[in-house]
């Protein structure tokens, strides 16, 4: 009975001296969480409240920022509770739910960036057909698919994990990402192949599509006028920066689980925090500063007096 109880609840063993620094951890992470919500929500509000930003490109940006808030909400509340708790534990079912949400929203981010890339391709390379192709219905379909497809595909590895035999109840992390696989006694070859297919569908194929699309844009822009090249650079560069950042963090997520035994606990904690700290704050900064129309409205919101002079 005790063994069954131990395997039902998972101990999150990635925290470092929580008893000593619990209030410092809490204040720092709570502040970051509030910054993530406020910064992302501000850009979403600007897009929603200004008619000239009701275009597919900005709608996709708003969806991406909403996705960032949901991504953070999948981890931050539980982290904040753990910092103030005597024991950092989570039920295995809740752990799998967090795992599913974490990677589903990560996959949604790749698909949203792919939709943005397609939107930019049509806008720059087929400007006369843009209004016909990128209709409200098309945008709505892209948004629905971006959130539904990863969720359905990640349901398979999540369901399989729920049935797998577990040999330990100690998870060497601070939240449930791919470290949940370390709890299982054996990972079969068939299981590995299925997970690889999911990774291919929700991350690698969208990333390749994005790179292919922006390569086409670059080639066509190079052959066109200076104005077309300027438009391409102005609207595509922020998306590419976000893609590179997201791809690096995905590789990072794989590396830290594979090499977790090679690093001290404090280093593993810092490396893990990069995944949930950096990206949700990075997106609103990039789009708020690099997208001309959003930046203009943001400046009016922050410094209304100066903009009216």
pLDDT of residue 146: 94
Integer Cα distance of 138 and 141 in angstroms: 5
Q: Which domains does the chain have, with CATH numbers?
A: 2-308 (1.20.1070.10)
Q: Are strands 89-91 and 9-12 parallel, antiparallel or unpaired?
A: antiparallel
Q: Is the pLDDT of residue 226 over 80?
A: no
Within 13 Å and on the Cβ side, how many CA atoms surround 119?
A: 24
Within 13 Å and on the Cβ side, how many CA atoms surround 304?
A: 1
* pLDDT, tens only, 35-87: 999 999 999 998 998 888 888 989 999 999 999 999 999 999 999 999 998 88
Tell me which of 301 and 114 has the higher pLDDT. Answer: 114
Question: Any idea which of 11-20, 104-113, 143-152 has the lowest mean pLDDT?
Answer: 11-20
Residue 34 sits at φ, ψ, to 5 deg, of: -65, -40
* pLDDT, tens only, 159-199: 888 887 888 788 888 888 888 888 887 766 777 788 788 88
């Amino acid at each position: 009975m005790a063994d069954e109880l131990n395997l039902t609840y998972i101990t999150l063993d990635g925290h470092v001296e929580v008893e000593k620094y619990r209030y410092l951890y809490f204040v720092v992470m709570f502040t970051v969480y509030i910054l993530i919500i406020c910064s992302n929500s501000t850009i979403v509000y600007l897009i929603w409240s200004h008619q000239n930003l009701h275009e597919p490109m900005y709608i996709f940006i708003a969806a991406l920022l909403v996705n960032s808030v949901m991504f953070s909400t999948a981890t931050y509340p539980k982290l904040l509770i753990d910092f103030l708790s005597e024991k950092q534990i989570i039920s295995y079912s809740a752990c799998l739910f967090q795992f599913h949400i974490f990677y589903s929203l990560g996959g949604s981010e790749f698909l949203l960036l792919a939709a943005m890339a397609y939107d930019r391709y049509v806008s720059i390379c087929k400007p006369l057909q843009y209004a016909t192709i990128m209709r409200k219905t098309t945008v709505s379909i892209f948004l629905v698919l971006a959130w539904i497809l990863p969720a359905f595909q990640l349901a398979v590895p999540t369901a399989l994990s729920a049935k797998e035999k577990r040999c330990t109840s100690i998870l060497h992390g601070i939240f449930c990402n791919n470290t949940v696989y370390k709890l299982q006694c054996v990972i079969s070859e068939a299981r590995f192949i299925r997970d690889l297919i999911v990774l291919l569908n929700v991350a690698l194929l969208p990333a390749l599509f994005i790179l292919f699309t922006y390569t086409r844009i670059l080639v066509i822009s190079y052959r066109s006028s200076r104005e077309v090249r300027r438009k391409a650079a102005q609207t595509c560069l922020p998306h590419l920066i976000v893609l590179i950042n997201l791809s690096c963090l995905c590789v990072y997520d794989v590396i830290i689980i594979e090499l977790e035994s090679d690093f001290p606990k404090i280093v593993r904690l810092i490396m893990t925090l990069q995944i949930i700290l950096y990206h949700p704050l990075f997106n609103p900064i990039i789009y708020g500063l690099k997208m001309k129309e959003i930046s203009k409205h943001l400046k009016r919101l922050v410094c209304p007096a100066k903009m009216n002079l």
